[in-house]
């Protein structure tokens, strides 16, 4: 089951108490203080795990508490440190404080860690307080409490290209044709209920990740259809492939219908996040094997009006897929170069 939001409670372990003790050994009069320190409490650490692709494990397990530190004992014995706790989360998880919504971390790389609830420090034993004027201190510190937090976890899938469009635009068929993903495909609206990821190969051994996002309809930002809750999975994508079902356009007014279909998705992207509406995208006329030249031309005109690159494909018949995939891969490479940090002055790569 695909779960992209979860609420959990994390708590670092409490520190152990310091000990008040005095040496009592034969032939050693006035042995002095010998109380040991308490152990530190364990910390809770979140770890980005690429083997996970959903927050489903947190549907039932919601409390994560690290071990507390052991108390100090006599003879200057230090208490045992508490057991730390590592919690695996999917790559792409955003960690927020539940009440305030403050973002505490964003785990976007495999193996990335975030110490989210630090354990309490162990208390000092009375041996720590001995001075030249106070040789028999009877003071010891209690252990500090560990940090406790109520967290909201939100998963945003990491994909290079996001496929967006109206329901039944052919997004699932396309991702199934260009990758090993096998989403459910049917001829009724909202077949795709959750995002699907697929790894697309191009230029022999090079790859990128594409995401099939559930279909949008007019008013999605107001909760119509499936709403826009899945658009957060588009936020990290560098390219958008906007799919339009050319075969469904009315023959006598195909241009107006194509314009309306494109504008609907643009409006919903802008309502969710204005930057998404400005992100680089291509316009793709799908189901070209069942569409007329007039229908395909209507989508092409909508692309030309917006200055977008246009493609005509049929995923079912595997027509026009190679040019589309090659263009997406090439543009991703170009965007990666543009977003790469400039080399430091004095480095071999610096001009």
Nearest to 153, CA basis, from 237, 69, 46, 77 = 46
CA–CA separation, 5 and 10 (whole Å): 16
Phi, psi of 115 (to 5 degrees): -75, 105
The predicted structure's pLDDT at residue 345: 53
- pTM of the predicted structure, to 2 decimals: 0.74
CATH number of the structural domain 5-155: 2.70.210.12
Gyration radius of the chain's alpha carbons: 30
Annotated domain spans of the chain: 5-155, 161-339
Nearest to 153, CA basis, from 9, 1, 2 = 9
DSSP labels, 109-122: STT-EEEEEPPPPP
The predicted structure's pLDDT at residue 346: 53
Architecture of domain 161-339: 3-Layer(aba) Sandwich (3.40)
pLDDT in single tens digits along all 351 residues of the chain: 678 889 999 999 999 999 999 988 777 777 889 999 999 999 999 999 988 888 988 988 999 999 999 999 999 999 999 999 999 999 989 999 999 999 999 998 899 999 999 999 999 999 999 998 898 899 999 999 999 999 999 988 888 999 998 888 889 999 999 998 787 777 766 666 778 888 899 887 888 999 888 888 776 666 666 667 778 888 888 999 999 999 988 767 889 999 999 999 999 888 888 888 889 999 999 999 999 999 999 999 999 999 999 999 999 899 999 999 999 999 999 988 876 555 555 545 554
The predicted structure's pLDDT at residue 219: 67
Tokens of 190: 């909202």
* Cβ contacts of 200 within 8 Å, gap of 6 or more: 161, 178, 179, 207, 208, 209, 210, 325, 328, 329
Stated as kind and residue range, the H or E segment containing 95 is strand 93-97
CA–CA separation, 117 and 148 (whole Å): 6
Q: Which residues is 240 bridged to in the sheet?
A: 162, 281
């Amino acid at each position: 089951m695909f779960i992209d939001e979860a609420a959990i409670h994390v708590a670092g372990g409490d520190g152990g108490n310091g000990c008040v003790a005095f040496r009592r050994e034969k032939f050693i009069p006035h042995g002095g203080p010998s109380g040991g320190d308490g152990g530190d409490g364990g910390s809770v650490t979140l770890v980005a795990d690429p083997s996970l692709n959903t927050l489903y494990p947190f549907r039932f397990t919601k409390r994560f508490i690290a071990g507390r530190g052991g108390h100090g004992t006599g003879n200057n014995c230090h208490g045992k440190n508490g057991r730390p706790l590592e919690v695996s989360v999917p790559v792409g998880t955003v960690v927020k404080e539940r009440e305030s919504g403050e973002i505490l971390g964003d785990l976007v790389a495999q193996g990335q860690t975030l110490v989210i609830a630090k354990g309490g420090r162990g208390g000092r034993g009375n041996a720590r307080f001995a001075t030249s004027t106070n040789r028999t201190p009877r003071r010891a510190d209690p252990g500090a409490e560990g940090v406790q937090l109520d967290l909201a976890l939100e998963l945003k899938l990491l994909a290079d290209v996001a496929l967006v469009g109206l329901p039944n635009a052919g997004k699932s068929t396309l991702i199934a044709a260009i990758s090993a993903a096998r989403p459910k495909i049917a001829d009724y609206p909202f077949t795709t209920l959750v995002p699907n990821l697929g790894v697309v190969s191009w230029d022999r051994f090079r790859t990128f990740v594409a995401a099939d996002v559930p279909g949008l309809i007019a008013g999605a930002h107001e909760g119509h259809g499936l709403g826009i809750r899945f658009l957060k999975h588009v936020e990290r994508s560098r390219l958008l492939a906007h799919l339009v079902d050319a075969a469904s356009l009315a023959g006598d007014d195909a241009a107006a219908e194509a314009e309306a279909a494109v504008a609907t998705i643009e409006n919903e992207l802008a309502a969710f996040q204005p930057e998404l509406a400005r992100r680089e995208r291509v316009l793709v006329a799908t189901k070209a094997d069942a569409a007329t030249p007039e229908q395909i031309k209507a989508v092409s005109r909508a692309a030309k009006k917006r200055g977008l690159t246009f493609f005509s494909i049929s995923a079912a018949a595997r027509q026009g897929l190679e040019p589309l995939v090659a263009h997406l891969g090439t543009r991703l490479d170009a965007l990666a170069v543009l977003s790469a940090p400039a080399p430091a002055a004095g480095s071999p790569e610096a001009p």
